[in-house]
Amino acid sequence: MQARNILITGAAGQIGVALRAGFKGVYPLLRLSDRAPLAAAGPGEEVVQADLGDMPAIEKLVQGIDCIIHLGGASTENTWETILSANIAGCFNLFEAARKHKVKRVIFASSNHAIGFHRRERFIDNTVVPRPDTRYGVSKVFGEALGRLYADKHGLSVACLRIGTFRNPDRPDNVRQLQSWISHRDMVHLMRCCIDHPDYHFAVVYGLSNNLRGRWDNSNVKWLGYRPQDDSEAWAAEILAKGEKENEVSALFHGGFYTPMEFDGDVDRID
Ligand SMILES: NC(=O)c1ccc[n+]([C@@H]2O[C@H](COP(=O)([O-])OP(=O)(O)OC[C@H]3O[C@@H](n4cnc5c(N)ncnc54)[C@H](O)[C@@H]3O)[C@@H](O)[C@H]2O)c1
């Protein structure tokens, strides 16, 4: 598939701003949308302020688009009301508008928190069952399931990116991030692989750099062409020298500090 017209939702956020810079001059049309204000459109750009809850606005937003990068929504753990409107209803609106207006591909920003309660001692690939660690994680499992439905039932091409840790400044900041970090340049490259690949039906991909300490295995999606160049190890000595002690629940699971939030379970029963 040759995507020419790209829409980014959540474009005013951290990842959206980095993609906007990284995609400059690459695609004929970059339509940038968020409910928050965005910087004025440059050459080849359109800027549209819209809330994902506003279905008529979202239907208008997707018109003429080949590929959507769906970043918009609550990007951290939040109240059920916020998760429900932004990440559940908003995500549904986005996929449904894409189907109605014959958008060929959707790239969904999922999260490692969709699989957060897998034990960290295990190296995991993209076939593991979902084990969300928060309401936020549940919303990402929902988005992945919706993507699967729209691929199988309606023929959309869908990629779900289980993003690790993307941050400003562009470096890992603690022990867990030595595992989960993705650099800005690797994120731009990963998104370009997902946009430019000629044909796939449905894929789940981990969004992490080439970290020596990485524990998420992308070998099932080598065909995508994602070859990350950065490695968090460059900061390992500095981070380890801080002697940080991770919370005892957090340290057990892939989801890190999201797992002990509101936790009153029994770690011994979580296999
Ligand atoms: N940054 C990371 O480390 C990371 C990790 C895993 C997953 N992700 C996912 O990637 C995506 C982007 O992450 P980010 O770090 O850029 O987040 P961010 O919070 O910086 O950006 C999210 C954007 O979505 C917009 N938004 C929220 N609710 C909206 C609504 N109802 N309608 C329209 N726009 C709305 C916000 O205004 C914001 O600009 C999110 O979906 C997040 O869950 C990010």
Mean pLDDT of 139-144: 99
Q: The tokens of 173 are what?
A: 């900041």
Q: Where are the domains of the chain?
A: 5-269
Catalytic status, residue 258: no
- Nearest alpha carbon, ligand 1 atom 27: 73
d(CA 92, CA 69): 14
Interval 13-24: pLDDT, tens:
999 999 999 999
Contact between 259 and 189 (Cβ < 8 Å)? no
Ligand 1 centre distance from Cα of residue 218 (Å): 23
In CATH, 5-269 is 2.60.40.10 = no
Q: Is the CB of 256 under 6 A from ligand 1?
A: no
Q: Which atom belonging to ligand 1 lies closest to the Cα atom of 51?
A: 32
Q: Which atom belonging to ligand 1 lies closest to the Cα atom of 112?
A: 6
Interval 121-137: pLDDT, tens:
999 999 999 999 999 99
Residue 182 has pLDDT above 90, yes or no: yes
